[in-house]
């Protein structure tokens, strides 16, 4: 009996010792990183998986024609060409990268810092905040339906999502990273090495992560942000009870030859993807923003900016490139105050010919706002990661 009691005590001590060893070693190795499940193998809403494991865009607008493949026209007009054909794994990897502050030089900000899902993938600020709380020059545009756009940034300086991502990551005033540091950082995180190997199985699993893979994954995720199921869309597809009387009145003002809103903010994306000089005012005390004049080296484009989409516009206040107008009512009223009324006296701008003096009544302006709010749709909102591959905790901003 005595021998059995001794053996039992030794066994218990051995189990306790093994448990302590397991606790210390496991806690040490998981202090920074949490093992993640495999990447999603299903396409996000609005896409269908084909036999080549590619997510292909599917929506009701594909049943309509698109004149000259421009994707602009009336209620039942086809969309322009969209960036699709990414794998579910690429899209899911891009989702992790988008929300992970490890992408910035000091781990202080992620893409979602300026493009918060709960703020229309903008940030609710007049102009965004960059590295070290630096106030930037322009507002953060929404990323909804960004996969359809031909030019990126307010001044159109990027032609692809990959270019846009590279410029943002390596801008000294934004995420302030550099290629060498970004690659070193991600390649030293086991979780990311595993996820990149899963998203890009055609390469050796032991190969290092490369910049084109990072940019492509981020482009894949951003291209999956689709918003095409608003009250307006339901109306456009034939369900006319989707809009009430005042919203229909607002739509008629929007499309009228008097207001001319639809000339630039053309359905179905509610942007013609062109550049326009509208003469919107800068914040008090600031000089004129030259806009597209700089990247295109064209003086006729001084003060020109890319016509933004109006999808989810009610969620992305304040408005204009400088965030000058706090409300939609202020923004629409600007267009009825007179052609070039806010242009500085020492500036000669080539105001877009659609900008004139429609003299809309207060009632018509109110109905315009009613209509613009029918463009809200977040039904395909992506799921936020519960944990990040880097081990950095998600902030309240991101969740």
- Give the N- to C-terminal CA distance of the chain in Å, as an integer: 60
State residue 331 phi and psi, 5-degree precision: -65, -45
Q: Are 46 and 59 in contact (CB under 8 A)?
A: yes
Decide if 72 contacts 272 (C-beta within 8 A): yes
Is residue 103 a contact partner of residue 111, using CB atoms and an 8 Å limit?
A: yes
CA distance 330 to 335: 9
Residue from 303, 382, 370 nearest 112 by CA: 382
User: Shortest CA distance to 105 belongs to which of 196, 189, 170, 191?
Assistant: 170
* CA atoms of 223 and 226, how far apart (whole Å): 7
* Strand, coil or helix: 250: helix
How far, in Å, CA of 46 to CA of 54, rounded? 13
Query: What single DSSP character describes residue 364?
Result: H
Q: What angle do CA 113, 392, 106 make, to 5 degrees?
A: 65
Cβ neighbours around 88 below 10 Å, total: 21
Q: What's the rounded Cα separation, in Å, for the pair 67 and 54?
A: 27
Please count the other Cβ atoms lying within 10 Å of the Cβ belonging to residue 81.
14
Active site residues: 174
d(CA 358, CA 340): 13
Which element (helix H / strand E) includes 111? helix 111-114
Report the distance separating Cα 89 and Cα 31, nearest Å.
Answer: 26
CA distance 249 to 371: 8
């Amino acid at each position: 009996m005595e021998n059995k009691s001794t053996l039992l005590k030794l066994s218990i001590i051995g189990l306790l010792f093994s448990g302590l060893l397991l606790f210390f070693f496991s806690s040490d190795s998981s202090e920074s990183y949490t093992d993640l499940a495999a990447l999603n193998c299903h396409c996000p809403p609005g896409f269908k998986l084909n036999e080549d494991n590619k997510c292909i865009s599917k929506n009701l607008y594909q049943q309509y024609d698109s004149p000259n493949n421009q994707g602009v026209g009336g209620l039942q007009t086809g969309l322009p060409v969209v960036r699709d054909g990414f794998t579910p794994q690429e899209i899911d990897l891009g989702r992790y990268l988008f929300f992970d502050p490890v992408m910035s030089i000091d781990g202080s900000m992620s893409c979602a810092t300026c493009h918060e899902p709960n703020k229309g993938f903008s940030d609710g600020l007049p102009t965004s905040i960059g590295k070290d709380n630096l106030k930037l020059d322009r507002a953060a545009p929404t990323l909804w339906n960004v996969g359809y756009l031909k030019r990126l940034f307010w001044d159109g300086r990027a032609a692809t999502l990959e270019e846009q991502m590279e410029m943002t990551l390596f801008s000294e005033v934004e995420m302030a990273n550099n290629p060498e540091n970004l690659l070193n950082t991600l390649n030293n995180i086991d979780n990311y090495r595993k996820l990149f190997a899963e998203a890009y199985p055609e390469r050796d699993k032991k190969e290092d992560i490369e910049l084109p893979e990072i940019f492509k994954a981020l482009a894949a995720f951003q291209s999956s942000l689709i918003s095409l199921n608003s009250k307006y869309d339901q109306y456009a597809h034939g369900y006319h009870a989707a809009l009430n009387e005042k919203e229909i009145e607002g739509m008629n003002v929007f499309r009228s030859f008097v207001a001319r809103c639809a000339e630039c903010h053309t359905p179905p994306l509610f942007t013609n993807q062109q550049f326009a000089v509208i003469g919107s005012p800068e914040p008090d005390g600031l000089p004129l923003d030259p806009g597209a004049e700089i990247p295109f080296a064209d003086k006729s484009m001084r003060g020109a900016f890319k016509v933004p989409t109006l999808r989810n516009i009610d969620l992305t206040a304040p408005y204009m490139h400088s965030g000058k107008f706090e409300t939609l009512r202020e923004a629409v009223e600007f267009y009825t105050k007179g052609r070039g009324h806010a242009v500085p006296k020492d500036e000669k701008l080539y105001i877009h010919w659609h900008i004139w003096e429609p003299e809309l009544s207060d009632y018509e302006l109110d109905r315009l706002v009613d209509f613009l709010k029918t463009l809200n749709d977040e039904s395909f909102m992506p799921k936020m990661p519960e944990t990040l591959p880097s081990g950095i905790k998600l902030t309240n901003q991101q969740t």
